[in-house]
Every structure is written in structure tokens, then in C-alpha cells.
Amino acid sequence: MSEKPVKKENRKVDWDAPETTIASKNIIQQKKALRLFYKQCYQFFKNEIGEISDKKIVELGSGAGFIKEYLHNCITSDVLDLPFVDRQIDAMELPFNKEELDYICMIDVFHHIPDVKLFLNEAVRVLQPGGKVLMVEPANTKWGRFIYQNFHHELFDPFIKDWKLPNGGPMSSANGALPWIVFKRDWETITKKKFPMLSIQTFEKKIPLLYLLSGGLSYPQILPTKFISLLDKISASGMFYFICLEKE
């Protein structure tokens, strides 16, 4: 990797304001391609979880999503005070008892957590043996770096040594490369030693085009949905990781 990290400036959007997430919910509902992206994420969760009737599932950073359409008994939450989530929860201080949860689900959340060591400690505490953390996160691929470092408002720095994020708001402070840093670059040397009860079950590159060509939350959709879906099926480049961690 020879690319130097590039920090993109905010495009005059207050990403930390609850009103921005509320507006994003409308965008997701209106953009069919972006909604398809979320559907693929939720299907990944559902495939991993299987029968949900007796499972206690929590989604962190639910934001503008619609996970209950796939996992109706999921407890939705966000670090922001939002009118359409069940609870306001900080990922670094989970309000659950020891071994109370079966699954923790997250879409684009891990790379926003200020101190992921605190979160992973909490995940180990609240998950039952065999419980899982399911994540969809930005991928540190050549294609991913090009997009995230040039067309996205968040920092994407795969060279940073410290896992902690710089001071900032819950949404504006981020490092999109953090999942790769923690679960690939530092897995053998740091992560596995600090969290021996966690194992990586899945770490796959997925969804190269749905999110990109939908325009995400910031840009207009580039192509009609039917063409985006076709391209997505035949493309091989990754922009996101599908990650499954299991507590032993």
C-alpha cells in the first residue's frame, strides 16, 4: 500500500446532528439502490442468526435503517437521541448484564467508535458463549481506498497506529480503515492477544457497487436501480467487509 491517507473535509453537513440522521432515513426510503444495500446487510445478519424467536439481538447505530423488517425482535439503538429507535446506547458502555445477548449487529458503526477496545471488552462481557458480533464496514482494498479517500467525508487512514479516534462528534469522528486495522493488520500481534475469547468466523469483501452507484447519503443516484443490481452481481471489487466475530 503506497497511498497516503487523505482526510476529506465535511461538505457543510452537520453529521452529528440528530436531524441529519432523520433526513437520512427519508433518503434511504427514496433511493431503491441504497435500500438494496441495506437489505443485503440485513440478509447477512439474518443468515448468520437463523431462527430468531429465542434470540436476544441488539443493533448498535441503527440510525436511519430498517432492521426490524428482517429481525422483528431486534432492539434498535443509537448513540444519538432519535425518535425511531428503541434505546439510546453508547457502544463503549453497553447497558446489559453479563452474557445477556446472543447477537450484536452493526452497519458502518465500528469505525465511528472512539475507543474500540472498550467496545470489544463490553461485547465479550455481554455476549453469551457462541454469541456473535456481526458488522458491515468499509473495506481497505485499492478500490475502497480510492473511493473513501477521495469521495467520502470521513477519514480513511490505514497507516495510523493508535486505534483511538481523534476527538470529535459521534458521527463526524471516524477512521474507515479501523476495521481492517483491528481485524487484519493487528489481529495476530495485538487483537487476538487482548481478546483471546474472540475469533473471526467471516471476513469477506462484499457489495462493490450498490452503495457507490446509489450515491449513498450525499450524492444523487448514478444509474437506474435495475442496472445497478445487474452490475453488482457481476462485479468482483470490494468496498465493504462483512465481518462475523464469535465469542468462544
More confident residue, 95 or 231: 95
The span from the CA of 170 to the CA of 122, in Å, is: 18
Residue 6 has pLDDT above 50, yes or no: no
- Total-model pTM: 0.85
* CB-based contact 247:198 (threshold 8 Å): yes
Residue 223: the pLDDT is 53
The span from the CA of 204 to the CA of 141, in Å, is: 12
Domain limits, the chain: 18-247
Tell me, which fold does domain 18-247 have in CATH?
Rossmann fold (3.40.50)
Residue 28: the pLDDT is 83
Give the confidence band of 141 by pLDDT, cuts at 50, 70, 90: confident
Average pLDDT over residues 87-110: 98
* CB-based contact 103:109 (threshold 8 Å): no
Mean pLDDT lowest for which of 60-74, 141-155, 193-207, 219-233? Answer: 219-233
Mean pLDDT taken over the chain: 87
Residue 217: the pLDDT is 53
Residue 206: the pLDDT is 78
